[in-house]
Chain A
Amino acid sequence: MKYWIPAVLLVALAAWLALSGVNEYFFYAAYVVLTFVVLATAWNILGGYAGYVNFGTAAFFGLGAYTATVLFKWLGAPLAVQIAAGAAVSGMLGFGVGLLTLRLRGIFFAIATVAVIFIMETLMINWRYVGGATGLQLLRPEVTAPFESYTRMLFVVMALLAVAAVSVARYIQISWIGRGLRAIRDSEEAAECCGVPTLKLKLFACTVSGALMGAAGAPMPMYLSFIEPASSFNLTYSVSALAMPMIGGTAHWIGPVIGALLLGSIQQVVTVTISNEINVLVVGVLLVLFVVAAPDGVLGLFRRGVSRRK
C-alpha cells in the first residue's frame, strides 16, 4: 500500500497538469523524460537484476514505434491497441533474441544485441510500406477530449506507462523471481545448483524488458507525427537506457527512475540551451564517470553517506 498510493497520486497529478495551463513545452520535454523512465526501468530488469548488460534497447524501442505505425496505417488502430501490439511484438523479439544469445557470455551477448539493432534498422530502411529510409508522415486523428493537444494526452499516457513499468519492476524485484535473477547475477553456476532454471528466468527477463521498451516506443510516431529508421533505432537510446540505471543504481527499482529523471532532465536542458551533440557527450561522460567512480550509482552513494553518519 505504501507504494500504490503515491503511484496513483502521481498519475492523478499528471492528468491534472495536462488539463492545466502549464506551458506546452513542459509536456514535450516531460514526455521524453518519462519515456526514459520506462526504458531505464525496463533495461534494469535484465541488465541490473540479472546482470546481463545489453545494448539492444534501440531495437525494441524502434520496433515498438514501427509496429504502432504499421497498425495505424493498415487498420487505423487506436493508441491503446498500438501500445499493446508494440509491447507484444517487442516482447517476442526479446524472447527470440534471448533464445539466440543468452547462452553467450558477457560481451558476446552485448555485441549480439547491437547487431539486432542494425538488422532491424536495415529491415525498416528497405521496407517501402513504412517509408523506407526517408520515413513516413502520419496524419493524427482528432485528439480525445478533454485534452487540448496530442502532446498533453501522450504525456498522461506515458505517465501511466511509467507507473506500470515501475510497478512491474518492483514486483519482480521483491518476489522470488527477483531473488532468482539476483542469484543468476551473483553466481549463475551456483544458482543452477540451487534449482534456479537460469535460462527460463533470463528469457522471462528478456521478454518483459523487450515488451516494456516496445510499449515505450509505440506512442512515438504519434508524438512526432513522423517516423524514420535512423532516429527510431538511434544508438543513443541504448546508451541512455544503460547509463540511467548505472547512474541511479541498479539494485532497486527506484535507481533507474532517479537516473532517468536526473539524466533525462539534464539532456533536455542541454539539448535546448547548447546542442544535441553536447547532450550525447554528457551521457557518455556521466556513464564513464559513474561506472568508474560510483558503481552502485546515486543509491550507493546515498547508502554510503547514511552509514558513514551512523
Chain B
Amino acid sequence: MIISLDLLFEAVLFGVLLGCFYAAVSIGLSVSFGLLDVPHVAHPAVMVLGSYCTYLVAGYGLDPILAGVVLMPAFFVLGILIYRFYYEAFERRGSEAGVRGLAFFFGLAFIIEVGLILGFGVDQRSVEAAYIGSSLRLGDYRIPYRMLVAFGVALVLTFALTLYLSRTFTGRAIKAVAQDEPALRLMGANPVRIKQWAFGIATGVSALAGAMLIIVGPVEPAIDRLYIGRTFAVVVLAGLGSMTGTLAAGLILGVAESIVLMFFGASWAPAVAFGLLLLVLGIRPQGLFGR
C-alpha cells in the first residue's frame, strides 16, 4: 500500500471537517458527563432523536439547521426532565445508586432506539437542502458543502458554549458546581437547579447536533451505538470538563478516522473511535486537559 501524499492530505482535510463535527456532537456530553458527572450513555440516543425530529420538522419545508435551532428549546426542557428524574431516582440516594444510574441510561438509550424503530422503521432517513449534495472545489480537492456547514456550526457552537461557561454568571456557576459543590451551596446557590439548567443546555445542544448529524449523512435508529464510541472517545480524550479540549480531541479523532477510512476501508472505521477510547483510558485516563 503506497501512501500517496495527495491522498493523505485529502484524508487530513476531510478529517479536520469531520473532527469539528465530532467535537460539536460531543460537546453536550462534555457538559453532562464531563462537568456534571452524569453517566449519560444515552447522549448519542438523544442526539439521534434530535436527528429524527429535525427530519420531521424539515419535512415542513424548514431548512434543517433552522429546524435544529427551533427544536433546541423543546430539548432543553427534555433535558431538565431527564436530569430531574435521574437526580430524584439515583444521585440523591448515594454512590451505590450511581452504578444503577448507569444502567438506567443504558436502558433509556435502548428505549429511545426502539421507539425510533417503531416510529420510523429501520430504513435510513435523510434531509435535503441546497448545500447537501454539492461540493466546493479547491484545486484538485472537493469538499462537500454539507461538511463545511457542519464545520461552521460546530465552531460557532463550541465557541458559544465556551464563552457562556466562562463569561456569564450561570455559566461560571456551572463550572463551579463541577469543581466544588459545597462551596457553591455556601454562596447561596442551589446546585441541583444549576445542574438541571446545565443538563438542559447540554440536551438542547444535542438537538442541533442531531440536525447536523442528519445533514452530514443519512441516519438510522441504531446509529447511536456507533456514536457512543465517538462521543465518549472525544470527551475522555479531551479531559473531563474541557470545552476547548473537546475541539482538539474531536480533530484528533476525525483525522484518525479519516485516514483509516482512506487507506484501510470503511469496515475498519468503527474501531477507530473505540480503539482510541481504550488507548486513552489505558495510558492517560485524565485526557489532554483533564481536571
Contacts and interface: CB of A to CB of B under 8 A. Distances in A.
Interface of A: 51, 53, 55, 100-101, 104, 106-108, 110-112, 114-116, 118-119, 121-123, 125-126, 132-133, 235, 239, 242-243, 246, 277-278, 280-281, 283-285, 287-288, 291-292, 295
Contact of A287 (B107, B114, B118): B107
22 contacts: A100-B278, A101-B281, A107-B33, A107-B39, A111-B232, A115-B229, A116-B274, A118-B226, A118-B270, A118-B271, A119-B278, A126-B267, A277-B117, A280-B110, A281-B115, A281-B118, A285-B111, A288-B107, A291-B103, A291-B107, A292-B89, A295-B97
B100 A291 contact: yes
B114 A284 contact: yes
B270 A122 contact: yes
Contacts of A106: 39, 98-99, 102
Interface in B107-128: 107-111, 113-115, 117-118
A235 B104 CA distance: 15
A107 to B, nearest CB: 4
B282 interface: yes
B84 interface: no
A47 to B, nearest CB: 9
Interface string B279-291: 0011001000000
Contacts of B271: 118-119, 122-123
Interface string B247-261: 000000000000000
Interface residues of B, number: 41
Contacts of B236: 108, 111
A104 B267 contact: no
Q: State the main secondary structure of chain B at its contact with A.
A: helix
A287 B41 CA distance: 15
B218 interface: no
Given A106-B39, A235-B225, A288 B282 contact: no
Contacts of B33: 107
A296 to B, nearest CB: 11
Contact of A246 (B103, B232, B278): B103
A239 B39 contact: no
Contact of A295 (B39, B100, B118, B274): B100
B159 interface: no
A112 B228 contact: no
Nearest to A97: B278
Contacts of A114: 228-229, 274
Contacts of B270: 118, 121-122
B229 A125 contact: no
Interface in B223-238: 225-226, 228-229, 232, 236
A285 B106 CA distance: 11
Contacts of A277: 114, 117-118
A100 B282 contact: yes
